[in-house]
């Protein structure tokens, strides 16, 4: 999507079975994405396209299994080079 010109991404954060992941409305094993992996891809894109701006909207999904710990999510994102 980034290569096609999209510069706005909405990511839903869930706490599924004690693991903070990206999902969309429910904690299905097939609907989960690793937060760190996704942000590594986003960081690599921005490193390769230093004049681009990317709008990242993070939504906390309250319908997931467990509460979301923002400090855990922040630590994951920062570990990929975003600060």
**Phi, then psi, of 19 in degrees rounded to 5:** -115, 125
Q: Residue 4, exposed/middle/buried by CB under 10 A (0-12, 13-18, 19+)?
A: exposed
CA angle 16, 6, 43 (to 5 degrees): 60
Query: pLDDT for 62-71, tens place per residue?
Result: 766 788 899 9
pLDDT of residue 64: 66
Each residue of 27-53: b (16+ CB within 10 Å) or e?
A: beeeebeebeebbeebeeebeeeeeee
The parts of the chain modelled with pLDDT lower than 50 are none
Element (H, E) at 37: helix 35-48
């Amino acid at each position: 999507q980034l290569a096609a010109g999209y510069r706005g991404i909405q990511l839903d954060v869930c706490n599924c079975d004690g693991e903070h992941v990206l999902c969309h409305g429910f904690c299905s094993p097939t609907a989960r994405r690793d937060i760190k992996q996704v942000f590594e891809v986003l960081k690599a894109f921005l490193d390769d396209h230093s004049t681009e701006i990317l709008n990242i909207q993070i939504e906390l999904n309250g319908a997931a299994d467990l509460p979301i710990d923002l400090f855990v999510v922040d630590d994951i994102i920062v570990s990929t080079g975003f600060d």
